[in-house]
A and B are shown apart, each in its own frame.
Chain A
Amino acid sequence: MKNKSFGTKLLTFVRDNTVPIMFVLICVFCIPLSGFSFSYLLNEIITRMGRNIFLILALLIPIMSGMGLNFGMTLGAMAGEIALIFVSDWQIWGIPGVILAMILSIPISVLLGAFCGKILNMAKGREMITSYIISFFMNGIYQLIVLYMMGSIIPIKHFSVKLPRGYGIRNTVSLLNMRQCLDNLLAVRVGGVKIPVLTFLIIGVLCLFIVWFRKTKLGQDMRAVGQDMNVARDAGINVERTRIISIIISTVLAGFGMVIYLQNMGNIATYSSHSQIGMFCIAALLVGGASVDKASIGNVFLGVILFHTMFIVAPKAGAQITGDSMIGEYFRVFVSYGVITLSLIMYETKKRRQKSQMGLQLQQEQMEEAAK
């Protein structure tokens, strides 16, 4: 009897955590094959945690307000990049540069976030695909600004940033004088493993902020909107405004996250840094066991560790198995997309199952709603 209940418990646990378990298995299988030393792996993972966690945390608030995975976080990343381009043009380096870039990114992020939120309000029920297309659309505008308007209309002076033709920004902007300045300040070395204490402190502050934010009036409103928009509206919550604010917060955080990410990388790939960010952050979050409608800070940390372990070891392990290093590269890209696909499918099937269970009354309501 007791055994059986344990069995069913195990089954539900496995069903609820399919993706993380799958990833643990992949990692356990690949780590010995890759032949990396433990301290090397640990070092890499800690670096990548510092680099990525802030960005991924930016995804949590839109999930809370029921808007799904915010593919529009790319907009925040663009804002961060534009801010960093300005800062490096003005030759302000080190910690002041990082702080100035963060401050500069805020107005751009707010503007972009408001735009994104407005459009998502017009496309309720299909937020994810819309935010995904917005990220492409904005990429076009971003190119227009950075490649044609910067230097010709927007003043950009420094030769290391500007293209030789007189306008437009170079393909890569070096942040060498800013590289890892946040990570190296207060860094602690434990047996050859560098721990960027300050970066983790900033991440810790953001985690506290998110925990606190959930308890505020606005945070409660967002959860109510996420549960049921109509009920929330009847309760006197301004649904549209709440949703826009949640996207703005997410975009601003993504902008900060991008500044942290790029100061760690040490250069900006002006036209491609932001394009993959959304996908990798979302994949990492989902690997941590989050779903489209539920995500916690724990998911973020677990996701970063598992996803990036896979990311580091897959090419080497793939080369070991097949003798071709490209296989591993393609494998990790496939896994990133596959995880997102799988999570989306699981979320939709779960939603449908719940819907059918809710009985006739709700169905009738839905039919009335559809008739509207």
Chain B
Amino acid sequence: MNEPLYTSTNPTLRERLRGFVNSFGLPRLIIAAFLLMLYIAAPFVGAGFWMQISNTINRFSWNAIMVLAMVPMIHSGCGLNFGLPLGIISGLLGATLSIEFGFTGGMSFLMAILIATPIAIVLGAGYGWLLNKIKGGEMMIATYVGFSSVSFMCMLWLLLPYHSPTMVWGFAGKGLRTTISLEGFYDKVLANFLQINIGSLSIPTGTLLFFALLAFAMWAFLHTKTGTAMTAVGSNPTFARAAGVNVDKMRLLSVVISTWLAAIGILVYEQGFGFIQLYMAPFYMALPAVSAILIGGASVNKASIANVIIGTFLFQGIVTMTPTVMNNMIHMDMSEVIRVVASQGMILYALTRKTEASK
């Protein structure tokens, strides 16, 4: 009796394992295992475990919203938003204008969001309109829209009439600096809210709550009528059109939301980091966000909030852990190489999936 049972369960177990690997994706598994190994190795090589954990959580809180910005466009079938820098620019405009108008402290953060919002909506609408014109080639054009807008803004940062002495070059009296300190403005304004400190572990509760709020709002939105229609557009545009959904309008809406979230995302990033980075800094910011959500289990046309959370945690874990742990382990700073290979490899993997590339 036992024998046939054994032989019949054995293949199913193996199949189940293979099915799990297939559905989860081999690269994801490798990355997760690698991170686990880093955490296990951390105490042995003298890198404080709790310190590493709080670093990871901190970086998670800075970056999560920019990863969340990927979700709406993936849902509406616009693919991965390589044009994230456009939203980042709206955020940067909000930040610099808020400081220029003389707001300080927590108020400057609020005003930065308020100023960035209309800019993000206008830019996002234009960007969405463009992406509707070029359905099928979104990702490549998105990349270059991001690049051209960043390089265009490089000129504007120099030319716009900013005067606040905290932001412009001291000797010239005009043109914004490449990095602007946020001390006295909204440096750590969210992170310090209800911050928890236990020994060397510190948790930026405020930032996490802010992310949770936005993530919940996104989740709720995706379950409204409009949100469901958006998902329908992404999974089957022909069917959606037949069901009376305005495909172009849904795509436009998703792009606007994504751009706005990117703007908020960069502001949250700045409050954690403590500096505004201008000029070429936003140039490659889309790639970490893209690879984070893919590592979290999303594909080119499917993403959930869980993907965002898992992905950001894994990605930022690798970013924070590799320099310290690898350095202590083999006395070589290979973190840059590992990060590039892991993140770009993940994007490549997602782009080459046949099942995911059926659109």
Chain A residues within CB distance 8 Å of chain B: 119, 122-126, 128-130, 132-134, 136-137, 139-141, 143-144, 147-148, 322, 324, 326-327, 330-331, 333-334, 337-338, 340-341, 344-345, 347-349, 351-352, 367, 370
Known contacts: A140-B340, A327-B155, A330-B151. The answer to whether A134 contacts B348 by CB under 8 A is: yes
Provide the residues of chain B in CB contact with A140, threshold 8 Å. Answer: 336-337, 339-341, 344
Q: Judging by beta carbons under 8 Å apart, are A126 and B357 in contact? A: yes
Among residues of A, the one whose C-beta sits closest to the C-beta of B300 is A126
Q: Judging by beta carbons under 8 Å apart, are A129 and B139 in contact? A: yes
Provide the residues of chain A in CB contact with B175, threshold 8 Å. Answer: 324
Known contacts: A324-B175, A344-B137, A345-B141. The answer to whether A330 contacts B155 by CB under 8 A is: yes
Against A, the Cβ 8 Å flags (1 = close, 0 = not) of B153-164 are 011001100000
Provide the residues of chain B in CB contact with A344, threshold 8 Å. Answer: 134, 137, 140-141, 144
Q: Judging by beta carbons under 8 Å apart, are A132 and B133 in contact? A: no
Provide the residues of chain A in CB contact with B357, threshold 8 Å. Answer: 123-126
Query: A162 vs B147: C-alpha distance in the bound complex, in angstroms?
Result: 35
Provide the residues of chain B in CB contact with A352, threshold 8 Å. Answer: 133-136
Query: A327 vs B336: C-alpha distance in the bound complex, in angstroms?
Result: 31
- 8 smallest CB-CB distances across A and B, nearest first, come from A140-B340, A348-B134, A137-B344, A334-B151, A122-B352, A341-B144, A330-B154, A140-B341
Q: Judging by beta carbons under 8 Å apart, are A331 and B155 in contact? A: yes
Q: Judging by beta carbons under 8 Å apart, are A123 and B351 in contact? A: yes
Provide the residues of chain B in CB contact with A126, threshold 8 Å. Answer: 139-140, 351, 357
Provide the residues of chain B in CB contact with A347, threshold 8 Å. Answer: 137
Known contacts: A123-B351, A136-B344, A137-B340. The answer to whether A330 contacts B140 by CB under 8 A is: no
Query: A348 vs B144: C-alpha distance in the bound complex, in angstroms?
Result: 13
**9 extra interface residue pairs, beta carbon distance < 8 Å, beyond A331-B155, A349-B133:** A125-B357, A129-B351, A136-B344, A140-B339, A143-B336, A144-B337, A327-B155, A341-B148, A345-B130
The answer to whether B10 has its CB under 8 Å from any CB of chain A is: no
The answer to whether B225 has its CB under 8 Å from any CB of chain A is: no
A86 CB to nearest chain B CB (Å): 21
Q: Judging by beta carbons under 8 Å apart, are B133 and A133 in contact? A: no
Q: Which of A130, A133, A136, A148 contacts B334 (CB under 8 A)?
A: A148
B159 CB to nearest chain A CB (Å): 7
B193 CB to nearest chain A CB (Å): 37
Within B301-359, the residues touching A (CB, 8 Å) are: 332, 334, 336-337, 339-341, 344-345, 347-348, 351-352, 354, 357-359
Provide the residues of chain A in CB contact with B358, threshold 8 Å. Answer: 370
Q: Judging by beta carbons under 8 Å apart, are A133 and B351 in contact? A: yes
Q: Could you show 28 A-B contacts with beta carbons less than 8 Å apart?
A: A122-B352, A123-B357, A125-B357, A128-B140, A129-B82, A129-B139, A133-B351, A134-B348, A137-B344, A139-B340, A140-B340, A143-B337, A143-B340, A144-B337, A327-B155, A327-B158, A327-B159, A333-B151, A337-B144, A338-B148, A340-B147, A341-B141, A341-B145, A345-B130, A345-B133, A348-B133, A351-B136, A367-B238
B122 CB to nearest chain A CB (Å): 19
The answer to whether B152 has its CB under 8 Å from any CB of chain A is: yes
Chain B's interface size range is: 35 or more
Provide the residues of chain B in CB contact with A345, threshold 8 Å. Answer: 130, 133-134, 141
Q: Judging by beta carbons under 8 Å apart, are B348 and A119 in contact? A: yes
B309 CB to nearest chain A CB (Å): 24
Q: Judging by beta carbons under 8 Å apart, are B347 and A133 in contact? A: yes
Provide the residues of chain B in CB contact with A370, threshold 8 Å. Answer: 358-359
Query: A5 vs B192: C-alpha distance in the bound complex, in angstroms?
Result: 71
Among residues of A, the one whose C-beta sits closest to the C-beta of B133 is A349
Query: A322 vs B157: C-alpha distance in the bound complex, in angstroms?
Result: 13
Q: Judging by beta carbons under 8 Å apart, are A129 and B134 in contact? A: no
Among residues of B, the one whose C-beta sits closest to the C-beta of A138 is B344
The answer to whether B114 has its CB under 8 Å from any CB of chain A is: no
The answer to whether B58 has its CB under 8 Å from any CB of chain A is: no
Q: Judging by beta carbons under 8 Å apart, are A132 and B143 in contact? A: yes
B342 CB to nearest chain A CB (Å): 8
Among residues of B, the one whose C-beta sits closest to the C-beta of A349 is B133
Provide the residues of chain B in CB contact with A130, threshold 8 Å. Answer: 348, 351-352
The answer to whether B287 has its CB under 8 Å from any CB of chain A is: yes
| Most chain B CB atoms below 10 A, which of A122, A341, A352 | A341
Q: Which of B130, B154, B344 contacts A133 (CB under 8 A)?
A: B344
Among residues of A, the one whose C-beta sits closest to the C-beta of B156 is A330
A137 CB to nearest chain B CB (Å): 4
Provide the residues of chain A in CB contact with B143, threshold 8 Å. Answer: 129, 132
Among residues of A, the one whose C-beta sits closest to the C-beta of B358 is A370
B18 CB to nearest chain A CB (Å): 20
A168 CB to nearest chain B CB (Å): 10
Among residues of A, the one whose C-beta sits closest to the C-beta of B151 is A334
Provide the residues of chain A in CB contact with B339, threshold 8 Å. Answer: 140
Query: A122 vs B355: C-alpha distance in the bound complex, in angstroms?
Result: 11
A339 CB to nearest chain B CB (Å): 9
Provide the residues of chain B in CB contact with A147, threshold 8 Å. Answer: 337
B153 CB to nearest chain A CB (Å): 9
Within B112-126, the residues touching A (CB, 8 Å) are: none
Q: Judging by beta carbons under 8 Å apart, are A348 and B141 in contact? A: yes
A332 CB to nearest chain B CB (Å): 9
Provide the residues of chain A in CB contact with B351, threshold 8 Å. Answer: 123, 126, 129-130, 133
Query: A370 vs B347: C-alpha distance in the bound complex, in angstroms?
Result: 23
Query: A341 vs B136: C-alpha distance in the bound complex, in angstroms?
Result: 15
Provide the residues of chain A in CB contact with B137, threshold 8 Å. Answer: 344, 347-348, 351
Q: Judging by beta carbons under 8 Å apart, are B341 and A137 in contact? A: yes
B130 CB to nearest chain A CB (Å): 7
Q: Judging by beta carbons under 8 Å apart, are B287 and A334 in contact? A: no
Query: A333 vs B150: C-alpha distance in the bound complex, in angstroms?
Result: 10
Among residues of A, the one whose C-beta sits closest to the C-beta of B157 is A330
B334 CB to nearest chain A CB (Å): 6
Among residues of B, the one whose C-beta sits closest to the C-beta of A136 is B344
Query: A124 vs B337: C-alpha distance in the bound complex, in angstroms?
Result: 28
Query: A134 vs B151: C-alpha distance in the bound complex, in angstroms?
Result: 23
Among residues of B, the one whose C-beta sits closest to the C-beta of A336 is B151
Among residues of A, the one whose C-beta sits closest to the C-beta of B345 is A137
Query: A156 vs B358: C-alpha distance in the bound complex, in angstroms?
Result: 47
Provide the residues of chain A in CB contact with B151, threshold 8 Å. Answer: 330, 333-334, 337-338
Provide the residues of chain A in CB contact with B155, threshold 8 Å. Answer: 327, 330-331, 334
| Most chain A CB atoms below 10 A, which of B144, B175, B334, B341 | B144
Known contacts: A132-B140, A133-B351, A352-B134. The answer to whether A141 contacts B341 by CB under 8 A is: yes
Among residues of A, the one whose C-beta sits closest to the C-beta of B141 is A344
A260 CB to nearest chain B CB (Å): 27
Query: A341 vs B137: C-alpha distance in the bound complex, in angstroms?
Result: 12
A153 CB to nearest chain B CB (Å): 13
Q: Judging by beta carbons under 8 Å apart, are A123 and B352 in contact? A: yes
